[in-house]
Amino acid sequence: MGQRRGGLGWGAFLLAFLLLLVTLGATAQTLKSANPTYDKIVDAVIARYHLPGIAVGVIENGQVVYVRTAGETVAGSGQKITPQTLFKIASNSKAMTTALLGRLVDQGKLHWDDPVTKYLPQFRMHDPWVTANMRVADLLTHSSGLPEGGGDLMLWPEPNAFTRADIIHGLAFIKPGYSFRSQYQYDNLLYVVAGEVAAAAGGAPYETLMRREVFEPLGLSRCQVGAWNRDAVGNVAQPHRQDNGHNVAIDEDAALIPAISSAPAGGIRCDLDDMLSWARNWLVPTPAQLAWLSPAQRQILQAPHMLIPVSAQRRAWDHSHVMAYGYGWRMTDVDGAWNVWHTGTLNGMYSMLSLLPDRRSGFVFMINGEADSARTVLGEVLTKHFTAPSDTHDVNWYADALDRAAKQHAATSSMPDTSKQHPATPSDLATWTGIYRDPWFGEISLCPSNNKVRFAAKKSPKLAGTVMRLGTRHLVHWDDSGDLDAWLDFHAAHDSQPITLRMAKIDPKGDFSSDYEDLDFQRVGGCH
């Protein structure tokens, strides 16, 4: 028999505790289907875009009021998405990286205005003046001068052999696309550098610091970074693409998931429960969370630091007047309400975290399929639920508007007709075959194989494909259809200079992370 405390016996206490757990469990189950408004929105998006899987959570006035999951971790597997299913949160990782930096500032180990070279003496940008004047804060605002997506080929496709040291070394060879601090152009490499700054200031690898300084204090028990075991952790969503109307899993994880260089920019995985905890930490921080990260640092992270042009669509849909980037967060006014948010995009994985701080409300969702338009539509309709509740535009209205815009784009696109491309022969390319080198991307080979010519990147094994001929031009058609095909433009040797190769996206408006235009290859040898 247990001792009595406050008149409640141990047996009675245990029974009361179990009843409380049952009640909480029933409440959680009810929350998943208690709001027909949210169910209608999510169901419509799933149906419109045939999503393989999704996890959605909504916060109203600081409380989680809606949790919804649907679909499977792998299409056809029968393994259901749950609130504990891990998704790649992609660029939503950036806010976790900046929170880590904010922790180090609170601890006196780092200052936002410190020069990057204080922590990384080997750091170099293309312009020596920019190198000397680049502050830690400048790594975070997408205003460094790097062209949009500059150097992303060192991050993706994964897996590849580019280390963080390779990335820091390669920055010196990427030519700027605009002047330092003059405009916003999204980049990922400098968030990798920021992760290395954190490691230098914090005295431990980025992954160790992220677990110790962010995941553990906030109780984000399922979030993963670095190397981990898929089966030991369990319940991991895999990315998908659509093939003839069917969702097909792509780039599936091996049993041992390796650490990746891109982690500070976009390599963290979390489940819905942890993402909702992460969101509530910003909307309604507890005293312990305010001790974890001070109000001063919270304000700095989510304050406007670099203006972003407001698109015509955003002006029309949201009546937005200003848009800006903080440290790992975007922000804008939506129907007069202040919105702090970010998205995440990786091949076959999409996410969005959106906060309305003045209302202590927001939402998060993660999708394991091709979902660019689905994310836009779901994010818009959920936002309007808070900022313009009388708005009558539904999921299909926004989806139809995006479809019309896509058709207009296609009608004016300079994308060429590639239906008549055919493999180039080794004799056709005899003048140009060989080993080429770019100062930041490294070596590639353009060499004969089975009466074709193959493109292969030494440090990025998934960036491989067959050289094709289209009219008088050549292009590379990648083995992985998720990568954007690229023109190959050869230039003959002259004045003792070697043969050179420049590349460009077939679709000039394609994903900026396929930054072929920043490559400048010179032939350094023949095929072996």
> Do the domain assignments include residue 5?
no
Same-domain status, 372 and 511: no
In the chain, the amino acid numbered 177 is G
> Do the domain assignments include residue 72?
yes
Q: Which of 410, 437, 453 is the last residue of a domain?
A: 410
In this prediction, residue 121 carries a pLDDT of 98
Residue 272: phi, psi to the nearest 5? -65, -40
> Do the domain assignments include residue 194?
yes
Same-domain status, 164 and 238: yes
What's the pTM value of the predicted model, to 2 decimals?
0.93
Same-domain status, 355 and 484: no
**Residues of the domain holding 156:** 31-410
Residue 518 sits at the vertex; the CA angle it makes with 516 and 523, to the nearest 5 degrees, is 80
Same-domain status, 94 and 121: yes
Same-domain status, 123 and 204: yes
Same-domain status, 432 and 335: no
Which residues, other chains included, contact 143 with Cβ-Cβ below 8 Å and sequence gap of 6+?
180, 181, 182, 183, 184, 185, 306
The 3 state secondary structure assigned to 412-479 is: HCCCCCCCCCEECCCCCCCCCCEEEEECCCEEEEEEEECCEEEEEECCCCCCEEEEEEECCEEEEEEC
Measured between alpha carbons, how far is 94 from 92 in angstroms, rounded to an integer?
Answer: 5
> Do the domain assignments include residue 22?
no
- Low pLDDT (below 50) residues in the chain: 1-31, 33
> Do the domain assignments include residue 15?
no
Same-domain status, 84 and 157: yes
Measured between alpha carbons, how far is 441 from 446 in angstroms, rounded to an integer?
Answer: 15
Measured between alpha carbons, how far is 137 from 301 in angstroms, rounded to an integer?
Answer: 10
Instruction: Count how many domains the chain has.
Output: 2
Neighbours of 208 (CB within 10 A): 14
> Do the domain assignments include residue 323?
yes
Same-domain status, 455 and 333: no
Q: Which of 386, 410, 434 is the last residue of a domain?
A: 410
Same-domain status, 294 and 327: yes
> Do the domain assignments include residue 156?
yes
Q: Tell me the DSSP string of 340-353.
A: EEEEEEETTEEEEE
In this prediction, residue 34 carries a pLDDT of 65
> Do the domain assignments include residue 226?
yes
Same-domain status, 123 and 84: yes
Specify whether the CB–CB gap between 53 and 367 falls below 8 A: yes
Which CATH number is 43's domain given? Answer: 3.40.710.10
Same-domain status, 381 and 445: no
Q: Which of 410, 445, 461 is the last residue of a domain?
A: 410
Same-domain status, 284 and 183: yes
Residue 342: phi, psi to the nearest 5? -160, 160
In this prediction, residue 286 carries a pLDDT of 98
